[in-house]
Each structure stands twice: as structure tokens, then as C-alpha cells.
Amino acid sequence: MSRITTVLIAILVFSTVFTSSVMAQDHSRNWDNGNVVSVTEVHIKDGMFNAYINDLNNVWRKFLDEQKKDGSVISYGMYGNSSPRAGEPDLYLTVTYANWAAFDRGEEYFNAIRDKVIGSADDMRSAGIKRGELREIGSQYNLQEIKFRD
């Protein structure tokens, strides 16, 4: 047998075995979508950690507590990066939503919460400008929880 024939036979045998194992895989769906977690990476400016946490307590926390009342938000949290390397955030903010529908509440819904927590749109804009002196936002992303079915 020539070397080329041997190589072709080996490729044919390998592809047959590989194709059989792929076809035998279980492709049933034994999982469900779970909660949606929104993550914000925050780079806090030097010497501003306490001021920023106090700002979160005054606005961010109250805004989310209002959303928890109607079930849009399940939970929220802050996680400090104890040893951030260059370019890494100092703080991670997380908000857990029941599902993607929480993002579609509409402008009136969020404006009503804003009016209750901070005041007018101008008040919110001013607070946002002041907050910019305390931190810079890095990446923001959403994660979909995947849960095994029992």
C-alpha cells in the first residue's frame, strides 16, 4: 500500500468515528434561563471611595429599593476589588433582575422613581455631573443565568 493510500484510509476511519460520536451526543435541553445580572465596573478616583459609597447609598440604593418593591429587581450588591491591577476596577456593582422584561418598563416608570428618589430631571443631571468627580465607569455588561433542570 502506498503512503497516500494509508493516509486516506486513516482519514476515512477517523472521520467515520468522529462523525458517529458527534451524532450520538445528547442535544436535549436540560436547562432553563434564570435571572439576568447587570454588572458595572467602577474605577473610583483617588481618595473618593467613601464619598462614592455614600453617593451610592443616597441615590443608587434608593432607586433599586423602589424597583425591588414591585419585583423588577431581585437583589443588588457591591463588591470591592481588594487588589486591583492596573486598569482593573475598584468596585463592581451588580443588579439581579428576574428576567429581561425588567429592562422594558418604559420611561414613565423610571421617571416616577426618579421623581420620588432624587427629584426632577435637572436634579438627576446635576447629581450625575457631581458623581463624575468621584468615579469613572468602566465596562457594563449583562449576564444571563443558566440553571440546570432537576
Answer whether residue 21 shows pLDDT above 60: no
* Predicted confidence band of residue 129 (pLDDT cuts 50, 70, 90): confident
Tell me how far apart the alpha carbons of residues 51 and 129 are, in angstroms, rounded to a whole number: 14
Answer whether residue 1 shows pLDDT above 70: no
Report domain extents, the chain.
31-148
- C-alpha cell read off for 129: 455631573
**Residue of 95, 94, 87, 103 lying closest to 138 (CA atoms):** 87
Q: Which residue has the higher pLDDT, 29 or 16?
A: 29
Answer whether residue 20 shows pLDDT above 60: no
Q: What is the pLDDT of residue 118?
A: 86
Per residue in 54-113, pLDDT (tens digit) is 999 989 999 999 999 989 999 999 999 998 899 999 999 999 999 999 999 889 999 999
Q: Quick one: residue 45, left, alpha or beta (phi over 0 = left, psi -120 to 50 = alpha)?
A: beta
DSSP secondary structure code for residue 26 in this structure: -
Question: CATH assignment of 31-148, given 3.30.70.100, 3.40.30.10, 3.20.20.60, 2.40.128.20?
Answer: 3.30.70.100
Per residue in 37-65, pLDDT (tens digit) is 999 999 999 999 999 999 999 899 999 99
Q: Which residues of 11-25 are buried (b: 16+ CB within 10 A; e: fewer)?
A: eeeeeeeeeeeeeee
